[in-house]
Amino acid sequence: MAAATVTSKGQITIPVQVRNALGVEAGDRIEFVEVGQGEFNIVVATRSVRELDGLFRGRRKKPATIEEMNAAIAEGASRSR
């Protein structure tokens, strides 16, 4: 298990095995996402826009209409109750 110590300024050094596993380098952003009381996930927030190219290609042939978007929102809202 990797561990780090918090400095008096609230800073930590991320252990090398964690940096390698996350693929983070100097200057990259990370976010701490709360997943439970006192539990957080570390998420790499620095990504190149180029990595998004083609991510959704082929999923939809034409743009969604306002009516389709409203219907999807209404359906999602009804499921969350």
Domain boundaries, the chain: 16-79
30-36 and 39-44: which strand pairing? antiparallel
pLDDT in tens, 32-73: 889 889 899 888 887 666 766 776 677 767 888 999 999 999
- pLDDT the model gives residue 3: 92
Burial 31-55 (b: 16+ CB within 10 A, else e): eeeeeeeeeeeeeeeeeeeeeeeee
CB 29 within 8 A of CB 48: no
pLDDT band at 14 (very low <50, low <70, confident <90, very high): very high
Q: Would you put residue 74 in left (φ > 0), alpha (ψ -120 to 50) or beta?
A: alpha
